[in-house]
Amino acid sequence: MKTKSELRSEILKLRKSLNSSEYQIKSQLVQDEVIRFISNQQIQSVHVYIAINGEVNTASIIDHCLERKIEVIAPRIEPDRQLSHWLLTDMSKLEKGLFSTLHPPLTNRADSIPDLILVPGVAFDHEKNRLGYGAGYYDRFLAERKNSKTLGLAFDFQIVEKIETEMHDIKLDAIVTDTNWIK
């Protein structure tokens, strides 16, 4: 089995190799599935990341939710290695944060527990384990939000046979790729 570091390096290289057209098409396929899921559930609030560095784009999901008055919550990375959570009401007002991430303006802190959390990652496996960037932001956040449904968003090539896990790693409820659901 590959180490976490080897997997990160390999998958990030693959993600970086996607051309703009492939990225847009594959991202939209994932987003379409998530939008269908949201439309078929009683979802009132969605916690969603703002994609960076070739992560599956989430802009269409955000637009869909905002148009339907579904509460959208997005994270901000804090210097103390925690995530804070803010209401997102306008994509044009995103601000630059740590590690070139984007986050909503710090005007409306989100206090509600989201019905659905969309989770980025570097790699995922068929057991619904997730490999992130290594800082543990989402592991800590998900550990506090056990009542929220969690969906990992990924391209097919991000699905690997097995991810080495540790006690603090949190399994997701499902993973959505450009061709498949892992439930």
* pLDDT for 161: 94
Full residue range of the structural domain in which residue 89 is found: 4-182
| pLDDT, tens only, 124-133 | 999 999 999 9
Confidence of residue 175 (pLDDT cuts 50, 70, 90): very high
| Share above pLDDT 70 across residues of the chain, in percent, rounded to a whole number | 100
Query: What pLDDT, on the 0 to 100 scale, is given for residue 38?
Result: 98
Phi–psi pair at 160, nearest 5 degrees? -115, 165
- Which residues, including other chains, have CB under 8 Å from residue 59's CB and lie 6 or more apart? 31, 51, 91
Q: How confident is the model at residue 160 (pLDDT cuts 50, 70, 90)?
A: very high
In this predicted structure, the answer to whether residue 33 has a pLDDT above a threshold of 90 is yes
Sign of the four-CA dihedral 155, 74, 52, 134: negative
Confidence of residue 144 (pLDDT cuts 50, 70, 90): confident
Match 């790699």 to its residue by tokens: 123
**Contact indicator for 151, 173 with CB cutoff of 8 Å:** yes
Per-residue pLDDT tens for 47-57?
999 999 999 99
| CATH code for the domain of 160 | 3.40.50.10420
Which residue, among 4, 8, 50, has the nearest Cα to 27 in the 3D structure?
A: 50
Q: Count the domains in the chain.
A: 1
Q: What was the pLDDT predicted at 28? A: 99
Asked if the model's pLDDT at residue 111 lies above 90, the reply is no
> Does 136 score more than 90 pLDDT?
no
Look at residue 90 and tell me whether its pLDDT is greater than 90: yes
pLDDT at 112: 87
Calculate mean pLDDT across residues 29-51: 97
Contacts 24+ apart (CB under 8 A), 170-173: 170/130, 170/138, 170/139, 170/142, 170/143, 171/127, 171/128, 171/129, 171/130, 172/119, 172/124, 172/128, 172/129, 172/130, 173/128, 173/149
